[in-house]
């Protein structure tokens, strides 16, 4: 039995060195160390040994198992390194080649039309007025003479932040702010 274990170890080492890839190594692991592997088949015959030979053969069997596992692990690491190097060589990137052009999209048609309208008015001497997005009730409604019971003041049509602050509902508050800060004639647009 000792000779068959040593023969098994020698045969396993030879086959491990001849393995081509990780798949072959896994097949060898199953062949030698699996549940139905050759080492297991040899160890099934230990019941026929004498009581004093079992520990000796058991130690040799464990040494053979550890040796085969170590050989397989070393071969796996070696194959993984070789496969990685081959893949890196195959996937070599030439950084001097021009990159693919990135398509960035285009402006929305409404923004294109708005930009054209701005250019037309700027060409006629108008200025573009801007104002805050969060507006006071005074600038948004009171200065425009919108009565308290006007439908645009309802909670369903206007987003109130506090009782006196709200999100601007139109661009008219910008016109109110412009008229308060400039003297006539005023030529502005508030898109």
Interval 58-91: pLDDT, tens: 788 778 888 888 888 888 888 888 888 888 888 7
Write down the pLDDT at residue 125. 92
Going by the DSSP 8-state scheme, the letter that residue 159 receives in this structure is -
pLDDT in tens, 1-39: 777 777 878 888 888 888 888 888 888 888 877 888 777
Write down the pLDDT at residue 51. 78
User: Using 50, 70 and 90 to split pLDDT, how confident is the model at 157?
Assistant: confident
Write down the pLDDT at residue 49. 73
Q: Tell me the whole-structure pTM to 2 decimals.
A: 0.42
| Domain layout of the chain by residue ranges | 2-90, 109-189
DSSP string, 40-66: HHHHGGGGGS-TTTHHHHHHHHHHHHH
Write down the pLDDT at residue 57. 76
Q: Cα–Cα distance between 22 and 76 in angstroms, integer?
A: 6
Token couple for 174: 């910008």
Residue 152 has pLDDT above 90, yes or no: no
Write down the pLDDT at residue 121. 95
Q: Which residues have a Cβ under 8 Å from the Cβ of 99 and sit 6 or more positions away?
A: none
* Cβ count within 10 A of residue 107: 10
Q: Cα–Cα distance between 154 and 146 in angstroms, integer?
A: 12
Which CATH number applies to 109-189: 3.40.50.300, 3.30.930.10, 3.30.1180.20, 1.25.40.10? Answer: 3.30.930.10
Angle at 60 between CA 39 and CA 7, to 5 degrees: 55
């Amino acid at each position: 039995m000792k000779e068959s274990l040593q023969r098994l170890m020698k045969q396993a080492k030879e086959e491990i060195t001849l393995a081509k890839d990780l798949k072959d190594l896994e097949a060898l692991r199953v062949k030698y160390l699996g549940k139905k592997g050759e080492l297991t088949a040899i160890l099934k015959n230990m019941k026929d040994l004498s009581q004093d030979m079992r520990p000796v053969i058991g130690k040799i069997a464990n040494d053979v198992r550890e040796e085969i596992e170590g050989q397989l692990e070393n071969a796996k690491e070696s194959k993984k390194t070789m496969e990685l190097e081959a893949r890196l060589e195959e996937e070599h990137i030439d950084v001097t080649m021009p990159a693919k052009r990135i398509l960035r999209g285009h402006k929305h048609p409404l923004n294109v039309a708005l930009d054209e309208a701005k250019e037309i008015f700027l060409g006629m001497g108008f200025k573009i007025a801007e104002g805050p997005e969060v507006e006071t009730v005074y600038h948004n409604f009171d200065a425009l003479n919108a009565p308290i019971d006007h439908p645009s003041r309802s909670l369903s049509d206007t987003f109130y932040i506090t009782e006196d602050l709200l999100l601007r509902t139109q661009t008219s508050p910008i016109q109110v702010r412009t008229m308060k800060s400039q003297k006539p004639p005023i030529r502005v647009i508030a898109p």
